[in-house]
Amino acid sequence: MESEKEKCRQGKLYDANNDAELIAERQVCKDICYEYNHTLPSDIEKRESILTKLLGRTGKKFLIEQPFYCDYGYNIEIGENFYANMNCVILDEATVKFGNNVFIAPNCGFYTAGHPFDVEQRNSGLEYARPITVGNNVWIGAQVCVLPGVTIGDNCVIGAGSVVTKDIPAGSLAVGNPCRVIRKI
């Protein structure tokens, strides 16, 4: 019989709200995020050490401003020269991969978790997870929301306040709700 974690990794509906293994993993992650968010901003070495322990993969040069929140941590991969400003939230039920030279403005969210439209399924605690991929050399403006299953190509700029519901091709300036390509860069 498949575990809820295995169902999640396969993109199937799974129960994150009542599964002891997933609840325990999220609790460990929340404790690590708490430790990170309460570390002195000037203690760069300790902050990097905590994030290296929390995240699935990091480059050598990265900075995530506090506060930062995620659900599991181990599903997040960041490339070289990564920067996320304050209040970054990553619901990493599925993998979230960021390339090199990615810059994220304040108050952005990356959400791999989604919920069924069917009321009974949703109310029973079922959800699904789809990976998010952000390419190299991407700048994401303030208060951007990236939804499950989205890929943002290399060399893109996503305008502030955008809600990214579909893939954005490489070399694009995209803005809006829903986010749309307005021109090539």
- pTM of the complete model: 0.96
The predicted model gives 123-152 an average pLDDT of 97
The pLDDT-based confidence of 1 (bands split at 50, 70, 90) is: confident
Q: What is the mean pLDDT of residues 75-87?
A: 98
Q: Which of 115, 151, 170, 181 is catalytic?
A: 115
pLDDT at site 35:
98
Q: What percent of the chain is predicted at pLDDT more than 70? A: 100
Checking 70-74 for CB contacts under 8 A at 24+ apart, the result is 70/29, 70/33, 71/26, 71/29, 71/113, 72/25, 72/26, 72/29, 73/29, 73/32, 73/33
Q: Is 38 a catalytic residue?
A: no
* Number of domains present in the structure of the chain: 1
Domain range for 36:
4-184
Q: What is the CATH number of the domain that holds 122?
A: 2.160.10.10
pLDDT of 12-34, one tens digit each?
999 999 999 999 999 999 999 99
